[in-house]
Amino acid sequence: MKVHECDAREIFRRHGLPVPDWRVASTADDAAQAASAFEWPVVIKAQVLAGGRGKAGGVKLADSPAEAAAAATQILGLNIGSEPVRRVLVAPAVDIARELYLGVVIDRTAQSLVLMASAEGGVDIEEVAATNPSAILRVNVDPVVGLPDWEARQLGFALGLTGAQVRQFVGIAQGLVEAFVDVDASLAEVNPLVVDDAGDLQAIDAKLNIDDNALGRQPDIEQLRDPHEESEAERRARAAGLSYIKLDGTIGCMVNGAGLAMATMDVIKHYGGEPANFLDVGGGAGVEKITTAFELILEDPNVRAVLVNIFAGITRADDVAAGVIAARERLTQEVPLVVRVAGTREAEALELLDCAGIGAERSMDSAAALVVEAAR
Amino acid sequence: MSILLDATTRLVVQGMTGSQGSFHTRLMREAGTRVVAGVTPGRAGASVAGLEDVPVFNTVAEATQETGANAACIFVPAAFAADAILEGVAAGLDVIVCLTEGIPVLDMLRVMPRVRASGSHLIGPNCPGITTPADGVKVGVMPWAVHSPGHAGVVSRSGTLTYEVVQHLTDLGAGQTTTVGIGGDPIIGTRFIDVLSMFEADPETHGVVLLGEIGGDDEERAATYIQERMTKPVTSFIAGKTAPPERRMGHAGAIVSGTSGSATAKESALRAAGVLVGETPEHAARLLVDRLR
């Protein structure tokens, strides 16, 4: 789950990061009024979850209430990614002497946290990683031990900081690691972390993603979920225990297991079709779940045929077959349906489908070839 | 021979009294697995329907002492699964298979140093388990009927995709020494390289199918290992060529971030290491069968 900048700022500040004051506004008038509380100029920033908002025109400076209102009007009229801008953040503009990067992510290989820092802040860090990887300094951090002073200090010196700046940096780096652990983050980032004209460090941006598996024990963070982050269909899927992602093709897919669901999409493509969605019904798929899955797939107007591909292990194939039959009876829409079932209780499933007049394929390849033909 | 499990495996099931735990314990026994104990804290002495002869203990330590268990299968909810892993490690078990999906990543980061420092092999979490068909040992939830004894090794990040390929291997007459589902999470106990090195050392395994997916770089690391160390043929299928970037595809670990973790990058790394990469899962199975002829 992604957290908005304004909420991430609050969390970072709670962990001692020097985040300058800000206000949030959802209209141009409110933005102008909020700006008047600060010294001019102010910066006005779109609050969206998508990246690349600077390039999309979602960040502007303003030197007066009129300019602030005009900038806010422009930004509030933007779509960034496919996301309409609903709110802006207003903060005093900082005179920037240097821009640094600081971030914490999971290091899958080392199986620890990794703190990354770079003297090349303010730009896309992926780009730095691709073009100049040695410009990114990395320190693995044990989440139980935390970031030791000496390691944070060493990193501060390596970034070219001096004296009091290094002391500030140690607090910031340790605070960011603490914040990451505290909220079960999957990414915590300050880009840029700036040195201002007075030589002080300030965190003027905040990015925070949360580990979806940990939301159950992070009720305060769950509260920060932007209902617009996922589509209505994705929200309903999540509530039903399904994993659904809409794509642009014409063949709806219903599969059990994430790996097989991805493989099914790939095999459809291999036979010349385009998948309309990723949909993992998970283990133990009953009638309700399968009906919801069908509804989600068929609500997509691009869908011309549906492939059900189930390899039952923890799931029972006959339960799935019963679900498919019941769901089909409830649906009013007629759409070509290709079913492939295998695994636990396969024979019983095939018999059920046969009685209901639904032909079943035994192999994934033949099923995919058939559904591609049906969608033409 | 096989890897990880064999005829000497004596299994304790953590969470055996739950509905999933008891259902799959019965299936594991039907496959031939020697299930010697169940553990559910506070339920010592409980009798589980269809498993009346399997004693239930409060702790893994007791179960191990009383029954000589040397492997565990964990059916414990995500919030308690990391603790269950630590309990198995403390009891000195050789193999711990954790099926649980949805464990917070930080829990796994806290647990892994202890696992690595121990002699235990942790498989998973978020995995289907392990089978060794010749010995009649299954620890996990795989459909037993698709397996057959033979000389192919299978290692996979996905559950159902593994069944798919094992079924094809069996249909094509290529049985398996061991199949290992290593799990779909970003932080897992045993990775491709660990399993590949076991297959390389196992005289009964003549070739391996590696089933990867988008996210992380374990496939790339496996490619380097295969090139430098492996003498046996390896074929592969990588799921997720059609997956959009920056979206988590079901598995917590299956996400293409920026330029890293794409299926194409993994396929080219594997090809460069001499691995035959299939266009479909069935194709990957066929390629191995052809190489083993």
pLDDT digits (tens, 9 = 90+) for B183-202: 999 999 999 999 999 999 99
Check residue A284 and give its pLDDT.
67
pLDDT-derived band at A369 (thresholds 50, 70, 90) equals: very high
Task: Report pLDDT for B260.
Answer: 76
Report field, pTM of the whole predicted structure over 0.80: yes
- Answer whether residue A314 shows pLDDT above 80: no
DSSP string, B49-76: TT-TTS-EESSHHHHHHHH---EEEE--
> Looking at the predicted structure, is the pLDDT value of residue A81 above 90?
no
Judged by a CB distance cut-off of 8 A, whether residue B80 touches chain A is no
The rounded mean pLDDT for chain A is 93
Average pLDDT over residues A42-71: 94
Q: Which two tokens stand for residue A210?
A: 């949360």
CA dihedral B106, B107, B110, B113 (to 10 degrees): -110
Residues contacting A4, CB < 8 A, separation 6+: A47, A48, A49, A87, A224, A226
Could you say which residues from 117 to 146 on chain B have a Cβ atom under 8 Å away from some Cβ of chain A?
Answer: 128, 141-143, 145-146
CA-to-CA distance for B25 and B19, rounded, in angstroms? 10
**Is the per-residue pLDDT at B1 higher than 80?**
no
Task: Pick the more confident residue, B287 or A361.
Answer: B287
Percent of chain A with pLDDT over 70: 99
Are B217 and A211 an interchain contact pair (Cβ–Cβ within 8 Å)?
no
pLDDT bracket for residue A344 (50, 70, 90): confident
Touching B: A residues 6-45, CB under 8 Å: none
Q: What is the tens place of the pLDDT at every residue in B131-173?
A: 999 999 999 999 999 999 999 999 999 989 999 999 999 999 9
% of residues, chain A, pLDDT over 90: 76
Asked whether the predicted pLDDT for residue A315 surpasses 90, the reply is no
3-state secondary structure at position A306: strand
Beta-carbon contacts of residue A233 (< 8 Å; ≥ 6 apart):
A244, A246, A296, A299, A300
- What pLDDT does B252 receive? 79
B47-77: per-residue pLDDT in tens? 999 999 999 999 999 999 999 999 999 999 9
Residue A192 touches partner B, C-beta closer than 8 Å: no
Whole-number pLDDT of residue B250: 82
> Model ipTM?
0.92
Binning pLDDT at 50, 70 and 90, where does residue A158 land?
very high
The pLDDT value recorded for residue B175 is: 97
Task: State yes or no: is A189 an active-site residue.
Answer: yes
Q: Do B103 and A184 touch (CB under 8 A)?
A: no
Residue A349: predicted pLDDT: 92
Q: How far is it, in rounded angstroms, from Cα B20 to Cα A187?
A: 34
Burial class of residue B191, CB neighbours in 10 A (0-12, 13-18, 19+): buried
Catalytic residue among A5, A67, A178, A189: A189
| B:29-68 residues touching chain A, CB 8 A cutoff | none
**Residues in chain A, overall count:** 376
Determine the average pLDDT of the residues in A78-103: 94
Using the structure block, give the residue that is written with the tokens 């003498």.
B231
The mean pLDDT value for B235-254 works out to 89
Q: Is the pLDDT of residue A333 over 80?
A: no
Round to whole Å and give the CA distance between A208 and A4. Answer: 8
Q: Which residues are CB-neighbours of A193 under 8 A, at least 6 positions away? A: A99, A100, A101, A102, A121, A172, A201, A202, A203, A204
Sheet architecture: strand order including B95-98: B56-57, B35-39, B11-14, B71-74, B95-98, B121-123
CB-CB neighbors (< 8 A) of A283 in chain B? 141
Higher pLDDT, B247 or A62: A62
Residues of chain A numbered 324-353 and touching chain B (CB < 8 Å):
342-344
* pLDDT bucket at A343, cuts 50 / 70 / 90: confident
Using a CB-CB cut-off of 8 Å, the residues of chain B touching A211 are: 104-106, 252
A275: which chain B residues are within 8 Å (Cβ-Cβ)? 242
Which residues sit opposite B210 in a β-bridge?
B155, B236
**Residues in a beta bridge with B208:** B153, B234
Contact A269 B241 (CB under 8 A): yes
Residue at token pair 């079924």: B167
pLDDT level of residue A73 (50, 70, 90 thresholds): very high
Reported as a single tens digit per residue, the pLDDT across A192-225 is 999 999 999 999 999 999 999 999 999 999 999 9
> In this complex, is the C-beta atom of B19 within 8 Å of any C-beta atom belonging to chain A?
no
Evaluate whether B181 touches B159 at the Cβ level (below 8 Å).
yes
End-to-end alpha carbon distance in chain B = 20
The structure tokens 């031939």 sit at: B32
For the cut 80, the answer to whether the pLDDT of residue B212 exceeds it is: yes
B66 to chain A, minimum CA–CA distance in Å? 30
How far is residue B262's CA from residue B243's CA, in Å, rounded to a whole number?
Answer: 9
Q: How far apart are CA A323 and CA A303, in angstroms?
A: 20
Does B258 score more than 90 pLDDT? Answer: no
Look over chain B and give the mean of its residue pLDDT values, rounded to a whole number. Answer: 95
- The pLDDT tens digits for A275-302 are 999 999 987 667 788 888 988 999 999 9
Which residue in A113, A130, A258 is closest to B259 by CB distance?
A130
